[in-house]
């Protein structure tokens, strides 16, 4: 039997590493960036587009899919892969984060969380058991335990109480999954989530308790929600130092290209973020010399591609001037071309990290990347300030 996670190369200058995640819907090369397909689709893109971008695995949001179209419809379709025609791996969150960020009224108890739908105000409850069942029905290759993500800042008292609840819920998720087993006859995996806000001691406790539950992978949650960047990276380092080498680590909800490279150097294997697709829809495109805002007047008569070396359809077929025109004319094709490009960039970025880790020159690659990428950002900053 193939192991779920296969560690392949480790960087000598940092904690960076490459690996392979084996799932029923295919193997995933890590480090990996996972586009967010909130409602069963990565906004503006088709499964064909995603494959063309180099996407290996996409996220689904349990909260959204549970509310609309509803678990029953997706189960009847045979799971989210069949429903959405994305026949590669899918990771789903537990729904907890959206309950905290989108739902109006919500009540957290030891039993679970009662909340109101942001769509129609109807009342619902998520428990560790129910979110496990939903994710099983969604056919997720990688499921997440129900957790609570305390806001930033939170008092140490509240963060401790919350982290303990997340641990208790993690155990119930794991036990429930162990009892029910996978839904569709193929392997499904469940990750634990480390919480503890910005308190290293709480992160330690959370992590130790989760390690005892022996999950096949671990996520670092509750970050990228407003805390200073140095604090974030210190906490990531604290966590990855304690996590077993042989299991994948997933840093939830981050981030910018330079942050992902930093996360990789700290030993993170998996990333997700709405940034490349959300910012694409606003006209921000990522390039190797930094992000550009394609809506700017200077691109009006610029007939070069966004990035001459980029293999994406947007760069191969269209000019900056044309895509800029589409943005100003509020044409949907603009958002799609920009999303295609940004995801292609993000996937190429982590692919370059993987290659340099495997080749033993991640340190040099990283310095060279940051020099090129940040010089442009400083220039832009200088112009703006």
**Residues sharing a CB contact under 8 Å with residue 312, sequence separation 6 or more, in sequence order:** 52, 53, 340, 341, 344
User: Of 124, 295, 325, 376, which one interacts with a second copy (CB under 8 A)?
Assistant: 325
**Residues sharing a CB contact under 8 Å with residue 59, sequence separation 6 or more, in sequence order:** 34, 35, 36, 37, 38, 90, 91, 92, 93, 272
Residues present in the chain in total = 385
**120 catalytic, yes or no?**
no
Stretch that binds a second copy, among 267-275, 295-303, 351-359, 364-372 (CB under 8 A): 295-303
Q: Is 43 in the site for a second copy (CB under 8 A)?
A: yes
**How far apart (Å, rounded) are the C-alpha atoms in residues 279 and 46?**
18
Cis peptide before 255 (omega within 30 of 0): yes
DSSP state of 184: S
**93 catalytic, yes or no?**
yes
Identify the bridge partners of residue 284 per DSSP, sorted by sequence position.
Answer: 293
* Cβ 54 to a second copy shortest distance, Å: 18
* Cβ 360 to a second copy shortest distance, Å: 40
Instruction: State which residue, 88 or 328, has the beta carbon closest to a second copy.
Output: 328
Stretch that binds a second copy, among 67-75, 180-188, 357-365, 376-384 (CB under 8 A): 67-75
Stretch that binds a second copy, among 40-48, 91-99, 207-215, 259-267 (CB under 8 A): 40-48
Instruction: State which residue, 14 or 293, has the beta carbon closest to a second copy.
Output: 293
Q: Which x/- pattern, by CB under 8 A, does the window 70-109 give for a second copy?
A: --xx--xx-----xxx------------------------
**How far apart (Å, rounded) are the C-alpha atoms in residues 294 and 315?**
13
Stretch that binds a second copy, among 19-27, 299-307, 345-353, 357-365 (CB under 8 A): 299-307
User: Of 1, 178, 308, 329, which one interacts with a second copy (CB under 8 A)?
Assistant: 329
The residue annotated as part of the active site, out of 49, 93, 269, 307, is 93
287-311: burial string, b at 16+ Cβ within 10 Å, e else: bbebbbebeeeebeebeebbbeebe
Q: Is 282 in the site for a second copy (CB under 8 A)?
A: no
Closest by Cα among 186, 170, 88 to 132: 170
Q: Is 347 in the site for a second copy (CB under 8 A)?
A: no
- Classify burial at 376, counting beta carbons within 10 Å of its beta carbon; exposed 0-12, middle 13-18, buried 19 or more: middle
Instruction: State which residue, 134 or 159, has the beta carbon closest to a second copy.
Output: 134
Q: Is 359 in the site for a second copy (CB under 8 A)?
A: no
**How far apart (Å, rounded) are the C-alpha atoms in residues 335 and 45?**
9
* Cβ 74 to a second copy shortest distance, Å: 9
**How far apart (Å, rounded) are the C-alpha atoms in residues 148 and 109?**
11
The catalytic residue positions are: 93, 272
Can you give the binding site for a second copy, defined by CB under 8 A?
39-41, 43-48, 64, 68-69, 72-73, 76-77, 83-85, 300-301, 303, 313, 317-319, 321-322, 324-326, 328-329, 331-333, 335-337
């Amino acid at each position: 039997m193939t192991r779920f996670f296969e560690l392949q190369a480790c960087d000598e200058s940092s904690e960076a590493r490459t690996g392979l995640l084996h799932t029923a819907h295919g193997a995933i090369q890590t480090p990996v960036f996972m586009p967010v397909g909130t409602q069963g689709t990565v906004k503006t893109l088709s499964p064909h587009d995603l494959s063309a971008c180099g996407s290996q695995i996409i996220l689904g949001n349990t909260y959204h899919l549970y509310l609309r179209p509803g678990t029953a419809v997706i189960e009847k379709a045979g799971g989210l892969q069949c429903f959405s025609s994305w026949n590669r791996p899918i990771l789903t969150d537990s729904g907890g984060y959206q309950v905290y960020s989108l739902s109006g009224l919500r009540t957290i108890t030891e039993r679970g969380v009662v909340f109101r739908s942001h769509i129609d105000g109807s009342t619902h409850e998520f428990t560790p058991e129910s979110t496990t069942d939903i994710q099983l029905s969604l056919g997720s290759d990688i499921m997440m335990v129900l957790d609570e993500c305390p806001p930033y800042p939170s008092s140490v008292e509240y963060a401790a109480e919350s982290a303990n609840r997340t641990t208790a819920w993690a155990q119930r998720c794991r036990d429930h999954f162990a009892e029910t087993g996978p839904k569709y006859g193929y392997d499904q995996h469940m990750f634990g989530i480390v919480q503890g806000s910005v308190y290293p001691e709480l992160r330690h406790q959370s992590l130790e308790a989760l390690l005892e539950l022996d999950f096949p992978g671990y996520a670092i949650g509750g970050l990228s929600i407003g805390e200073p960047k140095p604090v974030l990276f210190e906490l990531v380092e604290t966590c990855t130092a304690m996590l077993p080498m042989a299991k994948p680590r997933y840093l939830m909800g981050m981030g910018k290209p330079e942050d992902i490279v930093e996360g990789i150097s700290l030993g993170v294997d998996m990333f997700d973020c709405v940034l490349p697709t959300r910012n694409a829809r606003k006209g921000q495109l990522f390039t190797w010399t930094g992000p550009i805002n394609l809506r700017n007047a200077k691109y009006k008569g610029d007939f070069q591609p966004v990035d001459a070396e980029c293999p994406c359809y947007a760069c191969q077929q269209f000019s900056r001037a044309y895509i800029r025109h589409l943005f100003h004319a509020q044409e949907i094709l603009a958002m799609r071309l920009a999303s295609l490009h940004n995801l292609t960039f993000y996937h190429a970025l982590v692919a370059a990290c993987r290659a340099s880790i495997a080749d033993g020159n991640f340190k040099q690659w990283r310095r060279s990347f940051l020099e090129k990428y940040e010089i442009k950002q400083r220039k832009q900053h200088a112009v703006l300030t």
